[in-house]
Chain A
Amino acid sequence: MSVALSRRQAFKVMIGLGGVAVSTVLPKTLSAEEHPAHPVAPPDAIGMLYDSTICTGCKACMPACNEANGLAADSVLSGGIWDMPTGLNAQTKNIIELYQDPHSDEFAFVKKQCMHCLDPACVTGCPFGSLEKSDWGAVTWNSSLCIGCRYCEVACPFEVPQFEWESWNPKIVKCEFCYDQRLKKDLEPACTAACPTGAVIFGKRADLLAKAKDRITNAPGKYYEDRVYGEHEAGGTQVLYLSSVSFQKIGLPKLGTTSLGHYATKVTSLIYKWLSGPILMAGVLGFFIRRNWNRHELERLEHEKETGFPDQL
């Protein structure tokens, strides 16, 4: 045969292949949420409000969290005696850290755990949907889908997900709002339940935001910048912070108000929408490649005629 396929046929095949690819990806693409720059919390979104000025640093939340989540105490630093993590790690989903100004008496406690972003970067990046936004907005991890690529650790601006580096069957350890352990049983998370002072409280995000703003209004000048950290950071988080010292000093990063998912996907989501970009590219490249390949085939046939050899063999 002279030329394998006509151009028309070639395009048909390409469209066919593209159609197959689209039909597999399309359902997911259509159901996937958009990534607005400033996501709006759904009405049932729950939250936590942590007020650093109330926290006494009793750490009651830490063993409560460990117990609820079945985590062993991280006792490396204490010589096998106490749960003494140096930060969030594979055995610590929740930690009280202390900020101390070396030059003055200024100090503040801060509770670290997953911020449960409204548009979490980890969920956007997770290749097989192991991390997902579950009911009430809790960000949960599913062991049967995770491949251990640790993109979530790279993506999370708060550096919450922790990989079990020492485990043969490593999991991603992160606060899941006690989703399976307690939320599903109509219980509040272990840390808020254990907090004796009310420094961290549980409720609907909207209510907590209103409460936090009330506290700010009732005590002008008490809170740093008179604002709630987490209201807009990284598109908004479901864990909200109040502090009398700078948020950066207590280890909460300075972030823009745009969600990272929006930043990362605003262009690619257009290009990859229904795989239109790659299909278009395949069409354009295919046109030129076909043209050159036909030239090659003609040259080959000519050569065959010249030398008398059946094709190149």
Chain B
Amino acid sequence: MISSPVPSTKPLESIDERLRMSGVSRRSFLVFCTSLMIAAPFGLAITDKKTPEDVAAGLGKVIRPPIIWLHFQDCTGCTESLLQTSHPGFADLILNVISLEYHETLMAGSGLQARQALDEAVTKYAGKFILVVEGSIPTKDSGIYMKLAGRPALEVLADVGGKAAAIVAIGSCASWGGIPSADPDPTGAVGVADLLPGSSIVNIPGCPPNPYTMLGVVLQYAADGTLPEADEQRRPKFAFDRDIHEHCPRRAHFDAGNFVKQYGDEGHREGWCLYEMGCKGPDTHAGCSTRHFNEIPDVWPIGVGAPCIGCTEKSIAFRVPMFEVVKLHTIAAPPTSYAAIGTTYGTISPLATGLVGIGVGAAAGAGYIASRKFSRVEADESIPGSKSAGATSTKSGPSDPEPPGGASA
């Protein structure tokens, strides 16, 4: 893949020089710049230009940033996503834009050679190189669960990370622990920022993240020594400020109430909304819905019919069950459904009306019985409650003080 290895004694050249040296066409470079512009439409100084030509002009003068790429507890998926960029020339191109000094997956050497290459690069570019970390770092039992050339990952990170100009934690594992940190977390996996809180670290969570986000951050740092604006989880805002749901291509189905109820059902085949299948889109901040993978439209989970698992969210990915429906926050109903002006409030229960009927009937009946009692004693025109009335009244119950029909009023 690395077409022309650079002798380590030579100083790094600018991107333009390197591309010319490697015979990469200007057209390919312009396509790359366009991709970068799409990946970071705003919030990144190097892509904040009107045309790809302007971006290419700026980018060409940038000295290729030296990068040391360390693997800890990972699956190398993040590296794969960098390499699996679609056009055959792209991985080449990308590796010509940056100077990858050390990368365990891609380097030819191994064993002592590799160890020497790392030491050499760290010494040569001390304080200048950018450290990219892929994978989480085990902390339990003095970090014995992951060793690099006989040294635990903790030690390697402290050593190399201490000399880096900036650290990019790529992938969810390096950002906060990722899959290795999922319950029961046997290795005590943590992210880079947990161990080196004082360093300038950019987290690019995702499983895997979009490689252009990483390239954008690295190139911006190489160009003017600044890191893009980040949120409280150190994620660059240009890529992580909005949630998937806001720009999801299936949003129209959400608004229309078309939901996939089961994998493979009609709705699934029609590409309906996956919300009810546990899609975490409404709670997940990432650019996936606008920046798909491998430069191919619709290459991302929801695009291929799988619900988002919220891999960029520490509180969701590998913690909330994949098919659990998330709660929606402050999402108004689709504009097709409105409340009517005069919605009727309240309901009437048949049981209650029946009860009132019985009550009114009982009261009226009691009143009638009381009245009847009087009719018996009326003949002698005596005052009420006289002795004759008393004799007949012992059988009647205590009368209801409620007037007959009082409840019906």
Are A75 and B328 in contact (CB-based, < 8 A)?
A: yes
CB pair B328–A96 under 8 Å, yes or no, is: no
Partner of B330, one of A81, A83, A99, A251: A83
The residue on B at minimum CB distance from A248 is B341
Residues on B with C-beta less than 8 A from A251 are 341-342
Which stretch from A52-60, A129-137, A206-214 is at the chain B interface? A52-60
User: Taking the complex as formed, is B186 at the interface, i.e. its CB lies under 8 A from any CB of chain A?
Assistant: no
List CB contacts (< 8 Å) of A95-135 with chain B: 95-99, 109-110
Given A75-B328, A81-B275, A81-B328, does the pair A97, B338 have CB atoms closer than 8 Å? yes
Contact in complex: B340, A86 (CB < 8 Å): yes
Q: How many B residues face the partner with a CB closer than 8 A?
A: 20
**Contact segment of A2-10, A62-70, A259-267, A300-308:** A62-70
Query: Using Cβ atoms and an 8 Å threshold, which residues of chain A touch B325?
Result: 80
Pick from A59, A62, A83, A250: contact of B341, CB below 8 A: A250
* Chain A contacts for B334, CB-based, 8 A: 82
Question: In the docked arrangement, what's the CA distance between A205 and B339, Å?
Answer: 28
Check: B3 CB closer than 8 A to any chain A CB: no
Q: Which residues of A contact B (CB under 8 A)?
A: 57-60, 62-64, 66-67, 73, 75, 78, 80-87, 95-99, 109-110, 249-251
Cβ–Cβ contact B332 & A98, under 8 A: no
What secondary structure prevails in chain A residues at the interface with B? loop
- Chain B residues within 8 Å of A86, by CB: 339-340, 343
Distance between Cα atoms of A66 and B328 in the complex (Å)? 12
Give the shortest distance, in Å, between B251 (CB) and chain A (any CB). 12
Task: Kindly state the separation between the CA atoms of A81 and B332 in the bound complex, as whole angstroms.
Answer: 9
**Is A82's CB under 8 angstroms from B331's CB?**
yes
Q: In the bound complex, do residue A83 and residue B335 qualify as a contact, i.e. CB atoms below 8 Å apart?
A: no
A97 to B338, CA, bound (A): 6
Contact A87 B337 (CB under 8 A): no
**Cβ B328 vs Cβ A73 within 8 A:** yes
Q: Is the CB of A98 within 8 A of B341?
A: yes
C-alpha gap A158/B164 in the complex (Å): 65
B338 touches A96 (CB 8 A): yes
A73 and B341 contacting across the interface, CB-CB below 8 Å: no
Q: A97-B340, A99-B341, A250-B341 are in contact. Are A62 and B332 (CB under 8 A)?
A: yes
The CA of A86 and the CA of B7, in the complex, are separated in Å by 72
7 contacts between A and B (CB under 8 A): A57-B338, A59-B332, A63-B332, A78-B257, A78-B337, A97-B338, A251-B342
Q: Is B333 an interface residue, CB under 8 A from the partner?
A: yes
The verdict on A67 contacting B330 (CB below 8 Å), with A86-B340, A110-B341, A249-B341 known, is yes
What is the 8 Å Cβ interface bit string for chain B, positions 314-353, against chain A (1 contact, 0 not)?
A: 0000000000010011111111011111110100000000
When C-beta atoms are compared, the residue in chain A nearest to B254 turns out to be A81
Closest to A92 in B: B339
